Structure 1
Amino acid sequence: MQAWNAHPVVITAAITGADATRDHNPNVPYTPQEIAHSSLRSLEAGAAIVALHAREDDGTPSGRPELFQDAIGRIRTSAPDALINVSTGGSGEMTLDERVGGLHAYPDLCGVETGSMNFGDGTFITSPAAAQEIISRATAQHTALEVEAFEVGHVIAALRLLREGVLPGPLRINLVFGVPGGIDASPEALDAMLRPLPADTFWTVTCVGRHHERMLALALLQGAGGVRTGLEDVSHISKGVLAPSNEALVSRLAALAATLGREVATTGQTRELMRVEAP
């Protein structure tokens, strides 16, 4: 068995999601300029990957390709080696074409959900056909894939797609905890999500809400390949204190990793660990 600290850990900064708003935290970036600025500061703080959604200026989730292209163009100009991961989840109201709008910006990676779920008070639908279409479009343009798994059934579905040759290997999977309607944030839940994974899987942990830092610490000690933080996932940097920025959350996570004996991966190490080619 490989040592839990055998490899450096990849930090992903989740800059702005589809659900976090300025009502939750006034520092959530909306415009392409704000998203790019926050991404660059997060990369300087220790992130190797930035995970992006697009927003209209009023914060409405958007799939418009030009918004992704604007933000990603700004990031690549100043940080050409950074890895960029775009969401194909978007929001539950988007069409499939809108959900894949970020692919028009030719990111390094994109997420793909392998199942549907209740998401808070709504229902987020990703049919098997939709998942396969996203995989097909990303693969055709040589964009690497990361499965976004919110419960154990999503992990099993990903393994089936991998086994059938629909999802190209290697398996990269982001295990997401704490979303209402998904798996809970607990040590037992992490064990359940890890149990089916092949030994060569690159797995990352995301946790939404108040158990955010505890779950990331647990993941670091269990040998996670990556951990994720950012205003998409958590509004507070500590109990009762709103996070001032994405980079502040990244800095805190990098310090936690160092305290627990995990080196933080550079962008070059990240590409090697995740087997993602440079653009």
Structure 2
Amino acid sequence: MKKTIITCAITGAIHTPTMSDALPYRPEDIAQQAIDAAKAGAAILHLHARNPKDGRPSVDPAHFAEFLPIIKAETDAVINITTGGSVTMGIEERLAPAAATSPEMCSMNMGSLNFATHPLADRYDTFKFDWEEPHLRASEGAIFRNTFADMRMVAETMGGSPHNTKFEHECYEVGHLYNLAFCMKKGMFKAPLFLQFVMGILGGISAEIDNMVFMKRTADRLFGDDYQWSVIGAGGQQMKMAAVAAQMGGHVRVGLEDSLFIERGKLATSNAQQVEKVKSILMEQGNQIASPDEARAMLGLKGLGQVAF
């Protein structure tokens, strides 16, 4: 049995500071939570940046530069930089952090969708920062744009020389797998692929086991054996979807980007707490946990020594 890769998504751009005191947005907190998650068993750290003054999503490479060298100095984890940024940003903006840092991996969204978070705004009477409520409510009318031209730009910028970065192909519904298959036929990506089934986002496929099996069957038909896959179960489905994915031979992603909770009704105290929980579940059911170097071998990564931070 192959080992299971745990990815931890540390802060993201979905949740806002009001929702949890554990959600890191200052660079020192992002760095420490990432280091702790790696020590707890995460082989891959998926990273966004935020404005340290008020926690709003940021794609300023200077904000990434405040925590990336610290994480690299303290862990040997694979660092995966977002190119998703936030739904309000254009692809040129979203690409800037990865292009500036030349990471081993970066995320890549495989299609446009209605990425909606506006229902979250109704759960809170007051917010810590003025930007939070309008940011959430605006998503009702927003489209998370990822056209074929956008995808080609990310592939051409990051996939070849000088970066030679591999991708976490984020697929929010089954059509995104077909988008990826089309891009493969055009020679935009090289195997082995790393697919991330993103399940449970309003506007994408729901986090149900039947849907995950369908996504996996479709990927098998399109990509054969030359790919690895992982699952995000957003919100309350995080641990259940991870457990089943690992039983099916997949990998898992947890973290405060995807869920703020450790169990129903109880906020997680940190990213590391979620990593520790999923690691315990996986080991109890017989999965072995991949180290960062084992993840590098499975995914065909260039190595930590070839990043630019």
Instruction: Please classify the TM superposition score into its range, dividing by the shorter chain length.
Output: over 0.9
Residue 18 of structure 1 is matched in structure 2 by 13
Structure 1: which 5+ runs fail to align? 1-5
CA distance in 2 between counterparts of 1:143 and 1:161 reads 16
Residue 75 of structure 1 is matched in structure 2 by 71
Q: Secondary structure at the match of 2:230?
A: strand
Q: 1:110 aligns with which of 98, 106, 109?
A: 106
Deviations 1:166-203 (A, max 9, x none): 12222111011000110011111011211222222110
Report 1:187-226 matches (<5 A). Answer: 187-197=209-219, 198-224=224-250, 226=251
- The reply to whether residue 138 of structure 1 matches residue 158 of structure 2 is yes
Contact 1:220 1:260 (8 Å CA) reproduced:
no
Structure 2: which 5+ runs fail to align? 117-139
Report 1:115-264 matches (<5 A). Answer: 115-120=111-116, 121=140, 122-140=142-160, 141-197=163-219, 198-224=224-250, 226-264=251-289
CA distance in 1 between counterparts of 2:291 and 2:112 reads 34
Q: Once superposed, what is the RMSD of the aligned Cα atoms? A: 1.1
User: Comparing both structures, which one devotes a greater share of its residues to strand?
Assistant: 1
Contact 1:55 1:62 (8 Å CA) reproduced:
yes
CA distance in 1 between counterparts of 2:150 and 2:174 reads 19
Code of the residue aligned with 2:103 in structure 1: it is P
CA distance in 2 between counterparts of 1:180 and 1:149 reads 14
1:268 Cα deviation from its structure 2 partner: 1.3
**Sequence identity (%):** 33
Q: Secondary structure at the match of 2:19?
A: coil
TM-score, normalised by the number of residues in structure 2: 0.86
Q: What is the aligned residue count?
A: 272
Contact 1:16 1:231 (8 Å CA) reproduced:
yes
CA distance in 2 between counterparts of 1:245 and 1:148 reads 24
Code of the residue aligned with 1:162 in structure 2: it is M
Contact 2:165 2:302 (8 Å CA) reproduced:
no
Contact 1:14 1:50 (8 Å CA) reproduced:
yes
User: Comparing both structures, which one devotes a greater share of its residues to helix?
Assistant: 2
CA distance in 1 between counterparts of 2:107 and 2:212 reads 20
Code of the residue aligned with 2:181 in structure 1: it is L
Report 1:258-273 matches (<5 A). Answer: 258-273=283-298
TM-score, normalised by the number of residues in structure 1: 0.95
Q: Secondary structure at the match of 1:154?
A: helix
Code of the residue aligned with 2:291 in structure 1: it is T
Larger radius of gyration: 2
